[in-house]
A and B are shown apart, each in its own frame.
Chain A
């Protein structure tokens, strides 16, 4: 019992570090470890990874608010789309076959992976989009912001664009998490970074804040139907909170380009994971 808890703690530390660094839920680490290595039935693994998302999010948000990396307006405006998406996902879960969606989402992630590689190779030292022209909505909604970059020690002002596209993508992110219990973070980062052209660091930090809010609703479902097992979820959550403390110390101090380089293999693995799941190969 103590040994299992200790392993879960370590898994949590790893998932929390990576998750808070990139603004993703860490489900891609937690779920396979729990199902494949520990032989836990899938519903309990999903219950535990929902808790993992919330722990990562809450742990990371504390630090990123302090470091002035989060764009609270972007978070709250887009949160409307993700929460509505999550509810509609849960409502239509019985109607649509999830396997279809997994294949499509998997392909989409692989495409985004390709996009990120292109971004890394294209611009030399600049890892983020430059000369972004804000659209009407981003100005009206006051979404343009700034963040403090600890690497260059300067305040970086940024504009966001394609707000409608980002909003639609966020609805898709919510739909995916309501329907499949996945992708709470990675689709959010893509929506902000790739579609709205927000720099990667605030995108990741803002995704961290958002994903907990999106996950809270599904967490109540799993909590009250008994899928969240205390002896699994709690040691994992503690580990993740510790990991988030590590990840949030690393992220402000590394270059955006480096962060993007860490992101690429993650997108690749997740894309393949999801695509294969669409064909019934789970891992």
Chain B
């Protein structure tokens, strides 16, 4: 009995892994599309939207740049979405372990998420 129960859980886990893969695929696809749009605008207009070598690298200037369709700002937002894809992976993995009924790993993966968010916040504001 125990064995077949484990087999079922394993099959379930595999199904969930495929779901994680699909969610990630959407995430990567969106990030890549945004980057490609930005690059195309850059090539067609020949204009980065910014003076000289400057590129926007804080939230406010990226958002305002995207709203005025500046190519560098659009590319930067695509890159930021790409940086978020690993976070997405951890979040969906928590869900996967919830579905698989694996409490231990729900905790372990939640711990990973918390550490990761702390690290990203440290990164955002500098140490």
Give the B-binding residues of A (Cβ under 8 A).
1-2, 5, 51, 54-55, 57-59, 61-63, 65-66, 68, 70, 72-73, 76-77, 79-80, 83-84, 86-87, 90-91, 141-142, 209, 212-213, 215-221, 223-226, 228-231, 233-235, 237-238, 241
Q: Are A212 and B43 in contact (CB under 8 A)?
A: no
A87 to B121 Cα, complex, angstroms: 11
Report A-chain residues with C-beta under 8 Å of the C-beta of B14. Answer: 68
Within 8 A of A (CB), among B43-72: 43, 46, 48, 55, 57-58, 72
Known: A51-B79, A76-B109, A213-B112. Is A221-B123 also a contact (CB below 8 A)?
yes
B124 interfacial by beta-carbon distance below 8 Å: yes
Known: A58-B27, A90-B127, A229-B55. Is A223-B83 also a contact (CB below 8 A)?
yes
Give the nearest-CB partner of B58 in chain A: A224
Report B-chain residues with C-beta under 8 Å of the C-beta of A91. Answer: 127
Known: A72-B93, A216-B83. Is A86-B119 also a contact (CB below 8 A)?
yes
Give the nearest-CB partner of A227 in chain B: B57
A98 to B20 Cα, complex, angstroms: 37
Known: A54-B82, A80-B115. Is A220-B76 also a contact (CB below 8 A)?
no
B24 interfacial by beta-carbon distance below 8 Å: yes
Least distance between B32 CB and chain A CB atoms (Å) = 6
B1 interfacial by beta-carbon distance below 8 Å: no
A57 to B85 Cα, complex, angstroms: 9
Mark B115-127 against chain A: 1 for CB-CB distance below 8 A, else 0.
1101110111011
For the complex of A and B, the 3 pairs showing the least CB-CB separation, nearest first, are A217-B119, A220-B123, A65-B21
Q: Determine the main DSSP class of B at the interface with A.
A: helix
Q: Are B21 and A62 in contact (CB under 8 A)?
A: yes
Report A-chain residues with C-beta under 8 Å of the C-beta of B80. Answer: 223
Contact of A237 among B27, B42, B43, B79 (CB under 8 A): B79
Q: Are A61 and B116 in contact (CB under 8 A)?
A: no
Q: Are A241 and B83 in contact (CB under 8 A)?
A: no
Q: Are A212 and B75 in contact (CB under 8 A)?
A: no
Interface centre among B89, B108, B109, B120 (most CB of A within 10 A): B89
A228 to B55 Cα, complex, angstroms: 9
Q: Are B20 and A65 in contact (CB under 8 A)?
A: yes
Q: Are A58 and B82 in contact (CB under 8 A)?
A: yes
Give the nearest-CB partner of A213 in chain B: B86
Q: Are B105 and A76 in contact (CB under 8 A)?
A: yes
A128 to B126 Cα, complex, angstroms: 43
Least distance between A173 CB and chain B CB atoms (Å) = 15
Known: A212-B89, A213-B89. Is A230-B115 also a contact (CB below 8 A)?
no
Q: Are B28 and A59 in contact (CB under 8 A)?
A: yes
A77 to B90 Cα, complex, angstroms: 12
Q: Are B75 and A231 in contact (CB under 8 A)?
A: yes
Known: A216-B120, A220-B123. Is A141-B104 also a contact (CB below 8 A)?
yes
Report B-chain residues with C-beta under 8 Å of the C-beta of A5. Answer: 39, 43
Report B-chain residues with C-beta under 8 Å of the C-beta of A224. Answer: 57-58, 123-124, 126
Q: Are A230 and B123 in contact (CB under 8 A)?
A: no
Further 14 A-B residue pairs, CB within 8 A, beyond A1-B42, A77-B105: A51-B83, A62-B28, A65-B18, A142-B102, A142-B104, A142-B105, A213-B87, A219-B83, A219-B123, A220-B120, A225-B126, A231-B48, A237-B32, A241-B32
Report A-chain residues with C-beta under 8 Å of the C-beta of B127. Answer: 90-91
B12 interfacial by beta-carbon distance below 8 Å: no
